Structure 1
Amino acid sequence: MTPTDRLLEKMDRLLAELEEARKLNQRMDKIALFLEDIRLADIVQNYTAPRKLLWTNFLAGLARGLGLTIGTAIVLAVFGSLVSHFFSIPFIGDYIRQIMDYVESYRHSP
């Protein structure tokens, strides 16, 4: 095989790869346009159906509030469990008991 033939073969491969890259670029452009159309359709749907938008946002807020409440309850339960283990430690247990007594005294005062 002569150097010219090898050079022509390389050029043919490069041209084929270039054509493949062009086709891929065209597909990517179509996908980008499609995604833009979907976003535009979503925006139009939100403005034409305000009840649906309000309902969706209400449910999202409800889910966030419920998640926050459950998460806080779990964290406080774990914290309470950990604190109860410290009652048996002499210095820390006494300190925690003093804090709890202080809180209880304010809870029962008018």
Structure 2
Amino acid sequence: MLDKHLEKKLDQLSLYMEKMKLAEYVDLLHDTKRLLWVNLISGVARGFGIAIGFTILGAVAFLILQHLVGLNLPLIGDFIAELMNYVQESKGLRVR
């Protein structure tokens, strides 16, 4: 009875380990070149994703700021208009 229970638990454990792909992970850890390559590719992809995401977020923020300036709010509108002028001048889009 105890042997069958232990055998069943070992079968479950081996099934879980196979689902986790533990053997492939251990093989990856031992293959230094492949590990470096995988990490390099994932780092480049992560950096590219961050750059694209930040660009989209910045564009949305800029559009929101332009909309707030159009509403002509007393304190916020002046601050945002000044900020947008500074950004445009730093890009060389606006000539004083």
1:95 correspondence with 2:75 = no
1:33 corresponds to? 14
Listed one character per residue, the Cα deviations across residues 22-63 of structure 1 (whole Å, up to 9, x for unaligned) are x7875453131340794245213431x222111111111011
- Residue 82 of structure 1: which of 45, 56, 64 is its match? 64
Distance 1:28 1:71, change over 3 A: farther
TM-score, L = length of structure 2: 0.65
- The structure where helix makes up a greater share of residues is 1
User: How far apart, in 1, do the equivalents of 2:6 and 2:61 lie?
Assistant: 55
TM-score, L = length of structure 1: 0.58
With a CA cutoff of 8 Å and minimum separation of 6, indicate the structure with the bigger relative contact order: 2
1:43 corresponds to? 26
Report the identity percentage: 28
- How many residue pairs end up in the alignment? 86
Whichever residue aligns with residue 83 of structure 2, its letter is: I
User: How far apart, in 2, do the equivalents of 1:33 and 1:73 lie?
Assistant: 46
User: How far apart, in 2, do the equivalents of 1:85 and 1:69 lie?
Assistant: 24
1:6 corresponds to? none
User: Gapped runs of 5+ residues in structure 2?
Assistant: none
Greater CA radius of gyration, 1 or 2?
A: 1
Give the alignment's Cα RMSD to 1 decimal. 3.1
